[in-house]
Amino acid sequence: MSSPLSKPQIITHIQKSLNYTVFDSKWIPCSAKFVCLGNFPSGTGVIQIYEVHQGEAQLIKEVEKPKAIKCGTFGATSLQQRHIATGDFDGNLNIWNLETPDVPVYAVKAHKEIVNSIDGVGGLGIGDGAPEIVTGSRDGTVKVWDPRQKDSPVANMEPMEGETKRDCWTVAFGHAFNDQDRCVCAGYDNGDIKLFDLRNMSLRWETNIKNGVCCVEFDRKDINMNKLVATSLEGKFHVFDMRTQHPTKGFASVSEKAHKSTIWQVRHLPQNRDIFMTTGGAGNLHLWKYEYPAQRCKKDSDGVDVGVAGSVNLLQNVTLSTQPIASLDWSPDKQGLCVCSGFDQSVRVLIVTKLNIV
């Protein structure tokens, strides 16, 4: 490794202890504010809005909700509205206007059990096409919602009768590069990763990575799908090259064992799709860079195209705490700024330097 100073540094800018368990934290787009979602010890849910101001996080707003809130996304809202969509422990999907967060602007009982993961697309100018939200739940179903349609999902991915229901831990949108194409990727507790094509309403691809899939994310939602990162329970993560799908072998992938504990989350840098951060169960953060191979595609022995995976380089790794870091969100506006929250009941604003020169 070259001299440590030329590497990106991860710096804690702000650390704030909270009096509740925080499950998710998200930057509000086009602002210096972020939202924390979680639950109070009493079991009720909470939404807090903080503003970064002169090296401090100032609490601007706090709302208590009857159910603990697990996850949230701004992916399906316009820049002007900036409504957050949340999933809670009771299986509800709500969309809140953060200016008036008392009553949801959209509410639906989405699942029978906890909503584990949520993602949105079509808003913020990210991805063409309709605004849509996808939720994955413990009840084994993955549902796609359109905020313009009340009560029922626009697509429903659930096990057939007789199939065992797996706990869906994570969902992600991708491939939304025009207004028809769109994919949803879902990861399950048994290691299944399934890729649903929403244009054809079919299962496009599936694989199993042997360990529970904690988080999946496309490097970009709004491009022709390029890469997919899936993290697993036992500390490995897989990077799939999504450009070439072989009829039998599927997508080429590279895996890396990084953490000694569960990798809770992976988030790609909004300003550079080849850099991503993984958060570990032992409170550590790993910053990675994906290097493309010389040729991304080759012919196999039968003359069929097959993808070639690249390699991953560790750029930096730091330990923040002893508890798992459950969520991380890069600021969409300021390169290198990110907020992360862990089970040590604290939220941190981090600065990652020199991202533009790696």
Which residue type does 104 have? P
Among 181, 189, 217, 344, binds other proteins (CB under 8 A): 181
DSSP 2-58: --GGGS--EEEEEEEE-SSEEEEEEEPTTSSEEEEEEE-TTS-EEEEEEEEETTEEE
Question: Should residue 57 be labelled a site residue for other proteins when binding is judged by CB under 8 A?
Answer: no
In the shown chain, the binding pattern of residues 237 to 256 toward other proteins, with x for contact by CB under 8 A and - for none, equals -----xxxxxxx--------
**Smallest separation, CB 201 to other proteins (Å):** 4
Report the distance separating Cα 244 and Cα 39, nearest Å. 42
Our CB check for other proteins shows the closer of 171 and 337 to be 337
Our CB check for other proteins shows the closer of 1 and 103 to be 1
Q: Which of residues 213-242 bind other proteins (CB under 8 A)?
A: 220, 222-226, 235, 242
Judged by CB under 8 A, which stretch of 68-76, 87-95, 197-205, 210-218 contacts other proteins?
197-205
In the shown chain, the binding pattern of residues 305 to 334 toward other proteins, with x for contact by CB under 8 A and - for none, equals xx------xx-xxxxx------------xx
Our CB check for other proteins shows the closer of 62 and 206 to be 206
Half-sphere exposure of 123 (CA within 13 A, CB side): 23
Question: Should residue 155 be labelled a site residue for other proteins when binding is judged by CB under 8 A?
Answer: yes
Question: Should residue 11 be labelled a site residue for other proteins when binding is judged by CB under 8 A?
Answer: yes
- The sheet carrying 56-65 orders its strands as 21-27, 33-39, 45-53, 56-65
Count residues near other proteins (CB under 8 A): 100
| Residue 300: alpha-carbon gap to chain centroid | 33
**Which among 74, 162, 82, 70 is positioned nearest to 110, based on CA atoms?**
70
CB 197 within 8 A of CB 204: yes
Our CB check for other proteins shows the closer of 41 and 55 to be 55
